[in-house]
Amino acid sequence: MQVKDEILKILPKPTSQIKLAHIITASKVQKDTSYVDKDVESMRGLGLSVANVDLEGKKEKDLRDILQPFDVIYVQGGNTFYLLKWVKESGFDAVLEELIGRGKIYIGVSAGSIIAGPDIEIAGWKGLDPDPNEVGLEDFSGLSCVPFCIFPHYKPEHASFLKEEIAKYSYPVRILNDKQAFLVRDSEVALVGGGEEIRF
């Protein structure tokens, strides 16, 4: 079953009634943002109401007011370091914790999945098309929504490098290819999408 189908199964009401906040911050520093438009088109094709939200320049109170009406918080991919900078400076981390506590759904894609773990250093691993830390971020602590770090976009050519990096990393790492996702409910974590989980 595709990841999309798994997401549709957990929505609290019909797609035509779902409001989705699309956090675009990470994508703003990317040269090619065509993937953002494709995602929005796909989501609207399912009947979802989608609104783009940028964390940059926002304050915690602003975000609390802006995000309150939404059922789903969808954090788009892009530069993980730039994203985490604004997650913390805007107070989005505190607001998101409140929203999840009230039963809102968090979906993180690429950078949006990496920040869900306890640490984002993995985004800058050299040799694997790393995100540049152009904002000079020094605190790499993530949201800790899950107790492991996520390595997305896995391809077989990453295997040898990943084995070396994971062996010396301070946190457990779980790996996803582009057809997989982790579905988290309370402390339960399930792999959804195609194929077996990649482990080293």
16 among known catalytic residues: no
User: At CB < 8 A and 24+ separation, what contacts does 32-38 make?
Assistant: 33/78, 35/77, 36/76
User: At CB < 8 A and 24+ separation, what contacts does 99-104 make?
Assistant: 99/67, 99/73, 100/145, 103/12, 104/70, 104/71, 104/72, 104/73
Reduce the DSSP state of residue 118 to 3 states and report it. coil
| Beta bridge partner(s), residue 137 | none
Which of 153, 158, 160, 187 is catalytic? The answer is 153
Phi first, then psi, for residue 63 (nearest 5°) are -70, -35
Which of 90, 110, 113, 158 is catalytic? The answer is 110
CB 95 within 8 A of CB 34: no
22 among known catalytic residues: no
Catalytic residues: 110, 153
